[in-house]
Amino acid sequence: MTTTEIESPDSKIETFPPAGKKLLEARGLNVWFTGQNGERKHVVKGVDLELRAGKCIALVGESGSGKSVTARSLVGLAGDNAIVAADALELEGETLLGRSDSWWRRVRGSRIGFILQDALVSLDPLRPVGREINEALSLHGWGTRQMRRDKVLQTLTEVGVPEPELRARQRPGELSGGLRQRALIASAIALHPDIVIADEPTTALDVTVQAQVLGVLKQMLARGTSVILISHDLAVVAKLADAILVMQDGEIVEAGPSSQVLSRPQHPYTQQLIDAIPSEHTKGTRLSANDGVFTHQLFAPSASPLFLHEAPLLEARNVVKGFKGPDGIRRTVVKGVSFSLGRGETLGIVGESGSGKSTVARIALSLETPDSGEVRFLGEAWSHATPAEQQKIRKRIAVVYQDPLSSFDPRWRVSRILTDAITLGDPKHASRARNRAAELLETVGLTAAHLDQWPLRMSGGQRQRVAIARAIATNPEVIVLDEAVSALDVSVQAQILDLLSDLQTQLGVSYLFISHDLGVIHHMSDRVLVMQNGIAVEQGTADEIFYNPKHSYTQKLLESLPRLEYAKLRLAASSR
Amino acid sequence: MAVDSSIIEAVPISGANAQRHPAVNILRTVLLKVGSAIFVLWGAVTITFIVLMVLPGDRATILLNITSGQTIARTPEELAPINALYGFDQPILTQYIHYIAGLPHGDLGTSFELQRSVANIIGEQIAPTFTLAGSALLLAWIFAVPWTLFTAGRGRRIGAFGSATETIMAGLPQYWIGILLLIVFAIGLRWFPVIGGTSFMNTVLPTVTLAVPLAGFLGQSIRSEFDRTMREPFVLSARARGMSGVGVRARHVLRHALIPGITLSGWAIGHLLSGTVLVETVFARPGLGAILVNAVSNKDFALVSGCVILNSFLYVVINLVLDLIYLVVDPRLRGAV
Amino acid sequence: MKKTNSASLFASLLTIATLSLANFMPTGAAAATGTDDPNRIDGGTITYVHEQEPPCLWGGWVQQAYLSRQVFDYLVSYGDDGQIKPWLATDWSESKDRKTITFHLRKDVVFTDGDKFNADAVVANYPAWEKGIGWHGFTYMKGFTKVDDFTVELHLAEPNPEIYNILANGHYGFQSPKSLANNTGEQKCLTPVGTGPWKIEKWTRGSGISFVRNESYNWAPENARHNGPAYAQRLEWKFVPDATTRWGALVSGEANVAYQPPSVQWKTAQQEFQTLSFVATGRPQGLSFNVARGPFTDQRLRQAFVYAIDRKRIVQAVFKGTVPYEGNGSLSKTTPLYLDVDNDYPYDTAKANKLLDEAGWTARDANGYRVKDGKTLEARLPFNQAIINTEGATALQVIQDQVKAVGIKVNLIPLTQTEGFAGAYSKPEEKEISFGYWVWPSPNILDIVYNHQLNGRPNGNNTSFFNDPKVEAEIIDAQREADPKVRQQKFDKLQKWFDDQAIAIGVYNFTYNVAVAKNLKGLWQDQGNGLLNFYDAYFVKE
Amino acid sequence: MTDVTTDIRPAAGRAGLVSRLAIVRVPVSIVLSALAVLFFVIAAAAPSVLSTHSAFDTDLLSSLTPPAADHWLGTDDIGRDLYSRIIWGTRGSLLIGVGAMAVAFAGATVLGFTAALAPKWVAQPINRILEILLAFPTLLLALLFVALLGPSATSLLISVGLGTTPGYARLIRAQTLKVKQSGYVEAARALGHPWQIVFIQHIAPNAFRPLVGLVALGIGQSVVWASGLSFLGLGVAPPSPEWGALLEAGKASITVAWWLEIFPGLAIVLVALSFTQIGQYIQDLAEGNAR
């Protein structure tokens, strides 16, 4: 692989010194992990990278690509069972190989800062964040007690935390996602290290919070700090990085200036990654390379596709739901939401965490009964039906969750999971349930060989396919997809989204598609409902919402969304 | 991507939680706790009463036989005066109501076997038992914390060794350790007194005896949480900040690992009577254990019940104290109380 | 005459000794030393480790007598020769009908609370005896009357030749009238006030009792080794239930005197320490067969059972010399008028088998147990763990194993303290064999344990459920016999008869052993009941 | 793409035991523990296979023989072979351990499930009762039951079982509540399964899964517990060589015959240890922590 050279002119580059000094360099970096049984696994294969002062390079790849291990090797924290070797691994000319623990401790935090994802778990949940920042200072013997106290507040202010005195005394759990992520950044940069390694710093954050954090990182860059950004999200990377290194299976498959990699990807894998990102532009197109597989016309749709004058499949009227918190106080989390879902249609519900969208999903499934308002199915009582009536309707409304694994009984293999649903959907099928399960698997792009597998042993994409297979096993008219693709790598997500589209086309099923991801929502939905704090702030067709948002919250959401320069990308794609 | 898995999505964004009325809440909590504590005490006393009533064996007969060293059936003529003296001839319900009615006044009744007020007996015996249980718990902690600190999360070999040691300790029968310690250290090497008593030297061996299995259990529970916490991302964060491995263990991980240990300690104190009975027997040490065993044997209801009340009271109090300790160790819980 | 006439009845664990036995009598240094030992050290603390802790200091249980003996004084005392000696009573005389005894009291005796000891004090104590000693009624005492300030009359319902033994036995001490009238129940239980050589300083339950000497004590019995206050300053009476621990305490020097050292250490104890032993009077530890119902109504079966067990060897192996073998099932070696039948029923399995065959128990089941008419030859043997110690239980296991060889199945049923004291397994239909002992100072123990009725109701002490009015009459006749020689003959005949019938057979004698450190001299066991007397004990220079 | 650490960590989670056992390399300690358990199980099932002498035949001529070729672990004060007595005592001791766990879990299952799943008016009283029982000293519960039933293996078993029931009931309750809220229970409900089916197919088996290890663990602890009661004189009738009774009997001779106290104690420790090891291992497997 080629060594990254940052030469390409970029709009940002003018604010930086023209050619920074070489801060960090790795040549031929290899990492192996030793397993329990002594066997070695090669996880980073001959990676070369180079970071110059004031620059930002990004390592991009999907899970298992080795990007995080690479980053950790740079601070000597690859793990006890890791073997790290390199032709050269240098920090400002000093080698990093074979260094003692005490040497590393002096480097970490003072010369290289390290930021992990999700401060909720990356900061000690039992301690106030101020103490964590203070610790970074005291560990390196910085200043007096009073000086450190001031420095903590100063650093918090630096990363844009308001009321730093108050926040310093609070624990991560008491802070909002954005504030605690900034506190985490503060703890890593308190001593102003020249280099900051940020490992998925915005993952798991709401889009508006993500925008804030990216802003903080941008400011750091502006102050001359060099950044190594690790991310799976090309759009995030595009906002910051001067150069991008794309990793796949431990190797760097493509490296180059950001604009070049994003607009003229050379490697098919890079191309594939870019294509897989759903957005308003991809609506109605396939995201993944593979064709829709649909070998079995398993069943006729339960009703012919369109009865124009029938009642909506699912109709929620002014639904309200509250819960009692652990402190005994009741909080209303859904405040009068109404929607309707027609046959063959996809209704997207988008919102940030805490917006009440998952509760809406549970109410739509009649797993919760609304405090007031009701949900009707084809005009019949559903949320307030008797258990016996509900039992009948349940087979016609299926669900796919974000985490399929937790929705499978850990004692069951794929075959049992599917036959259970098949038999329940139609007891007549019991005798040939296994055959039907195999057919279902083929429908969702798996094979009969997967029948005897444990879900735990499958990849995330495969598990989600099994979950979808289970959802369609009862031949439902509605499928509720609750963040169904949020936990997947982008290329897998693309495949699953394509699969869902195919299924909808062929089965005429309706989707209630719940996601925090605006791109996915736009890609999938016919109509969209935007939720904030339990209220449906805006509802309309997908294009109305995305191109002409009325509500200020919707507008804010869309502004926060990092996007690639799609026009450029499309151009590149067409010129290929 | 974190989408709330919890049903309650309305997580308070800041720590302010302004809408609550602390005073009302605290009062409500206190009343609830006190109420349930009284209920638990009442229930324990009632169960004790019922079981002792159902227990075969006539109390007057036992009293007559035990004071004359005999094991024979007694005639009604012999029993009548005893029954009248201690009120055993009254209807069971009357006896029960009489006893319960005395409790709110602090009247725990009188032990018919020992001819003394139960409150006095317990008052006299509680100190040695508490000393023993308390020091055993302390010793168990003193052993378990460094032991876990140095053997947990340090690779499989050391971990397995540490954990095996704990398992063995946890599996040792207390009285057996007690006998062996007594034989070796008191009778053989004469480092400690043989005759039971309540002085410091007298307390060492019983404490060790009681502490060994406890340390084993404590170590096990601390270790598993320790191992789990070592895999938390904030450990990596702290290391990346420049903290040493030992520092992370002692200053971050340990605190998390202590939480199950605290729970276990509460359980251990709550069961101190059970634990000390055998040890007190082996070391001929004064304390509630031997008193309790004897009282059960003689159907001395007031005394058994006194011990039960003490133990239940302790259990309730310990649980309250634990709730407070949790708040100190794990401030996340503060919002929820 | 009433049939209960001569029976002093109800055995508590009170003891008397008359005969000297080679290994079980104190021969040694402890008892025989005089008062003016040049090496004697004044003062010091004697630590004694005892086994069981009674609920109260005073009462009808022998565990209480051990303690009471230290703080109370008695009308009369046992002499070393078994004769009754004056103590608080200087002399006494009996009326012609032997039902009234006049005691003349010492005039210089003062209770430790300052109360005076006199006739009024004696009279005032009687109600406490009546109420506090469970078996008091069987002593035939009716009450005291005051003759003058220092003379009292004791009235008896029946003549009772053993009344002096009873008055000397540790239970019948005197408490100050003031304390009896004014003290709380708890005080009377824990710190009764007597005239004795020791005062109770503190009782820590579960640990022990601290005694301090009574400095004004000057009324020791005639058979004491000195008069005046006790030699030692303090007496620490510790309760240590475990024999090994008691032994350890003695060996390590923490204790000066240890009660019942472990059998396995008895030889060492005899070599390295002083030892005192006392064989209890009354009935020995023995097996009583249920002759009212079940297989052992057949004499041949009872005899076969006895032939099948090697009693001598069992006692030797299990107790290792701490207790003597006892063949007589009715009286122990130290009881007056004891008949030695140790050589009857030698271990002889052939004879046992023959007797069983003759009795028709010829068939055997799969486990080798004898069967007759479809019923297995089986016997239930309940025993109270609070009374039979571990070694006793071990002896029972050997017996169980040995009779198995001749085809008898014994089921051992251990009873908890609750069950035992609540009188479980005390009915004829509940057991075939009983195991236990009675401490009693007189041969009329036969009346207590073989009389089928007591006050018109079944006699609970009759564990063999024996019922033969003719034999009962003979027992009473023997007890009332005035001529000692004829009385001996009559009791010999009765003992022989019970032995031949094998209604009850002996196994071993209940024996009270103590080991004493070599630097403690002058400690003696009361030769009437084995109670330790710490009053004369003193330390010597080494 | 959620957790950056997943790519270096083995996937934690769940899978069937069988498949896990097949792929997981079983640690040496577990193999040894399993061998020990096997040994004791054989001893319990067919003691004559392992014993060298009769456990009950007394031999007054060879009392208190130290361990030697003839008597591997020595003899007791009436000449019975200690090794054989320990072997023959296994059945009683293990029966008490296993039986006590059976009693405890039977009671705890009913109470725990009811407390977790029943309507409030049923669950609340049960929760209260559990709370009262938890406040009760365990040993006292056991003492009361032995006093009630008389000393025997059965009453030891029931006493220890009932004494430990409340603790397990609370665990089962907590576990059930956790499973009740799990994704697969919701998925099964959403699929349209009625409650009974969801309970039988999902809640009950999964609530029990992590407790499987606890059962093994509890067997060892119960043996220790029961031997403690024997030690207090509330044990099995002689001449039964139940281990607690052996310890009790050996105590008197310990100063001259250490083997009488050491070996039965070691047997108890070994059982407790091996069952605990296996219990923890099973628990780890069930919770997916085994590597």
Sequence-distant (6+) residues with CB within 8 A of A248 are A61, A62, A65, A269
Same domain, A481 and A557: yes
CA atoms within 13 A on the CB side of B237: 31
Q: Is the pLDDT score of B230 beyond 70? A: yes
> Does residue D7 lie within any of the structural domains?
no
Cβ within 8 Å, pair C135-B68 = yes
Last residue of a domain, one of A421, A451, A475: A475
C-alpha closest to that of C69 among C518, C521, C515, C512: C512
Per cent of chain B over pLDDT 90 is: 13
Quick check: B2 and D2 CB within 8 A?
yes
Task: Please write the tens of the pLDDT for every residue from B125-143.
Answer: 888 988 998 899 999 999 9
CB contact under 8 A, B51 and D9: no
CB-based contact B241 A353, cutoff 8 Å: no
Mean pLDDT of B191-210: 90
- What pLDDT was estimated at residue A209? 84
Residues A368 and A389 in one domain: yes
DSSP class of residue C178?
A: H
Residues of A in contact with B7 (CB under 8 A): 323, 359, 362, 368
Please give the Cα distance from A342 to A305 (Å, whole number). 11
Confidence of residue B163 (pLDDT cuts 50, 70, 90): confident
Question: What is the rounded average pLDDT of the residues B155-167?
Answer: 84
**Same domain? A531 vs A481:** yes
The H or E element containing residue A339 is strand A330-341
Nearest to C296 by CA among C470, C475, C474, C463: C463
Q: Is pLDDT of A294 > 70?
A: no
For residue B32, with 0-12 CB atoms within 10 Å meaning exposed, 13-18 middle and 19 or more buried, which class applies? exposed
Shortest CA distance from A117: residue in chain B: B233
Tens-place pLDDT, residues B21-39 = 556 767 777 788 788 888 8
Q: What parts of chain C have a pLDDT lower than 50?
A: 1-34
- Report yes or no on A422 lying in a domain: yes
How far does the CA of residue D103 sit from the closest CA of chain A (Å)? 26
C416 in reach of chain D (CB within 8 A): yes
Q: Do A121 and B4 touch (CB under 8 A)?
A: no
* C205, C238, C427 member nearest B291 (Cβ): C205
Question: Which candidate from C12, C248, C423 shows the least CB-CB separation from B72?
Answer: C423
CA–CA min distance D182, chain A (Å): 7
Structure tokens at A484: 């169904």
Alpha helices in A87-246 (DSSP H): 101-107, 119-122, 129-139, 145-158, 164-168, 177-189, 207-222, 234-240
Residue C72 vs residue B16, higher pLDDT? C72
Q: Which of C98, C94, C91, C84 is nearest to C157 (CA)?
A: C98
Per-residue pLDDT band for A328 (boundaries 50, 70, 90) equals low
Is D235 within a domain?
yes
pLDDT of residue A19: 59
Segments of chain D with pLDDT less than 50:
1-23, 289-291
Residues A481 and A376 in one domain: yes
Residue A210 lies in a domain: no
Looking at residue C2, its pLDDT comes to 31
Tokens representing residue C514 in the block = 């103590």
CB < 8 Å from B in window 106-125 of A: 106-110, 113-114, 116-118, 121-125
Subunit partners of chain C (3 or more CB pairs within 8 A): B, D
Domain span at residue D264 reads 29-286
Residue A67, min C-alpha distance to chain D (Å): 9
D139 and B CB contact within 8 Å: yes
Domain that holds residue A431: 409-475
Q: Does a structural domain hold residue D4?
A: no
A402 or A245: which leads in pLDDT: A245
Chain C partners within 8 Å of B58 (Cβ): 422-423
Pairing mode, strands A478-482 and A510-515: parallel
Q: Is the pLDDT of residue B2 over 50?
A: no
pLDDT computed for residue C179 by the predictor? 95
- Beta carbons within 10 angstroms of residue D121's beta carbon: 7
Residue of B nearest to D140 (CA): B274
Cβ contact, residue pair C244, D254, below 8 Å? yes
Provide CB contacts within 8 A for D133, sequence distance 6+: B47, D141, D165, D166
Contacts of A180 (CB under 8 A, 6+ apart): A119, A120, A123, A129, A172
> Quick one: pLDDT band at residue A14, thresholds 50, 70, 90?
very low
**For an interface test with A, which of D3, D4, D203, D285 has the most A Cβ atoms less than 10 Å from its Cβ?**
D4
Inter-chain CB proximity C248 and B187 less than 8 Å: yes
Contact present, A454 and D19 (Cβ < 8 Å): yes
Token pair recorded at residue A203: 């993952």
Inter-chain contacts counted by CB atoms under 8 A, chains B and C:
166
Tens digit of pLDDT for each residue in B267-323?
777 776 777 888 888 888 888 888 888 888 778 888 988 988 888 888 888 888 887
**For the packed helices D204-229 and D153-180, what is the interaxial angle rounded to 10 degrees?**
150
D186: contact with B, CB 8 A cutoff: no
For residue B294, which residues of chain C lie inside 8 Å, CB to CB? 417
Q: How many domains does chain A have?
A: 3
- The residue among B59, B63, B64, B66 with the most chain C CBs within 10 A of its CB, best to mutate, is B66
Share of chain A above pLDDT 90, in %: 36
Contacts from B99-102 at CB under 8 Å and sequence distance 24+? B99/B45, B99/B49, B99/B301, B99/B302, B99/B305, B100/B42, B100/B45
Chains C, D: CB contacts within 8 A come to 82
CA distance A83 to chain D (A): 13
Partners of residue A454 in chain D, C-beta under 8 Å:
15-16, 19
Q: Which residue do the tokens 């005897």 mark?
A: A452
Residue C64 distance to chain D (closest CA, Å): 23
Structure token digits, residue A318: 């002014």
**Cα D124 from Cα C124, distance rounded (Å):** 61
Is A417 found in the same domain as A375? no
The residue of chain B nearest to residue A116, with distances taken between CA atoms, is B237
pLDDT of residue C33: 44
Query: Nearest C-alpha of chain B: how many angstroms from C535?
Result: 23
Chain A residues within an 8 Å CB radius of B20: 327, 329
The answer to whether the Cβ–Cβ distance between A489 and D1 falls below 8 Å is: yes
Query: Contact, C355 vs C303, CB < 8 A?
Result: yes
pLDDT value of position D11: 37
Domain shared by A430 and A556, yes or no? no
The CATH number linked to A354 is 3.40.50.300
Distance CA C340, CA C335 (A): 11
More confident residue, C451 or A511: A511
User: What is the per-residue pLDDT across A371-421, written as a single tens digit (0 to 9) for each?
Assistant: 999 999 988 889 888 888 888 899 899 999 988 888 998 888 899 999 999
Q: Are A408 and D209 an interchain contact pair (Cβ–Cβ within 8 Å)?
A: no
| A177-189 helix and B233-240 helix, angle to the nearest 10 degrees | 30
Tell me the pLDDT tens digit for each residue of C231-261: 999 999 999 888 888 999 999 899 999 999 9
Burial class (CB in 10 A: 0-12, 13-18, 19+), B186: buried
A391 and A481 in a single domain? The answer is: yes
Give the domain CATH number at D248: 1.10.3720.10
Same domain, A325 and A452: no
Whose CA is closest to C46, among C540, C542, C510, C413?
A: C540
Q: Does residue A251 sit within a domain?
A: no
- Cβ-based contacts under 8 A for chains A and D: 109
B290 vs C49: CB contact, 8 Å cut-off? no
Cβ(D62)–Cβ(D78) under 8 Å?
A: no
Domain-embedded: residue D169? yes
Provide the pairing of β-strand A94-95 with A88-91. Answer: antiparallel
CB < 8 Å from B in window 217-236 of D:
220-221, 224, 227-228, 231-232
Residues of D with CB under 8 A from a CB of A: 1-8, 11, 13-16, 19, 25, 182-184, 186-194, 201-202, 205-206, 209, 288, 291
Helix, strand, coil: what percent of chain A each, to 5?
A: 40, 25, 35
Q: Tell me the pLDDT band of A354, cut-offs 50, 70 and 90.
A: confident
Residue B22's pLDDT is 59
pLDDT at A305 over 80: no
Q: Are residues A389 and A487 in the same domain?
A: yes
**ipTM of predicted complex:** 0.80
Q: Do C310 and D238 touch (CB under 8 A)?
A: no
> Could you tell me which of D252, D254, D93 has the C-alpha nearest to residue C395?
D252
Distance from CA of B7 to the nearest CA of A (A): 7
Helix (H, G, I), strand (E, B) or coil at B257: helix
Asked whether residue A390 is assigned to any structural domain, the reply reads yes
Q: Does A176 touch chain B (CB under 8 A)?
A: yes
Long-range contact list for D177-181, CB < 8 A, 24+ apart? D177/D116, D178/D207, D179/D203, D179/D206, D179/D207, D180/D116, D180/D117
Q: Which of B67, B124, B181 to mutate to test the interface with C (most CBs of C within 10 A)?
A: B67
Residues 173-202 on B with a CB inside 8 Å of D are 173-176, 179-180, 183, 187
Judged by a CB distance cut-off of 8 A, whether residue B270 touches chain D is yes
What local confidence, expressed as pLDDT, does residue A304 receive? Answer: 44
Q: Do chains A and C touch (3 or more CB pairs under 8 A)?
A: no
CB contact under 8 A, B62 and C240: no
In chain D, which residue's Cα lies nearest the Cα of C314? Answer: D60
D114 domain-assigned: yes
Same domain, yes or no: A421 and A494: no
Domains of chain D: total:
1
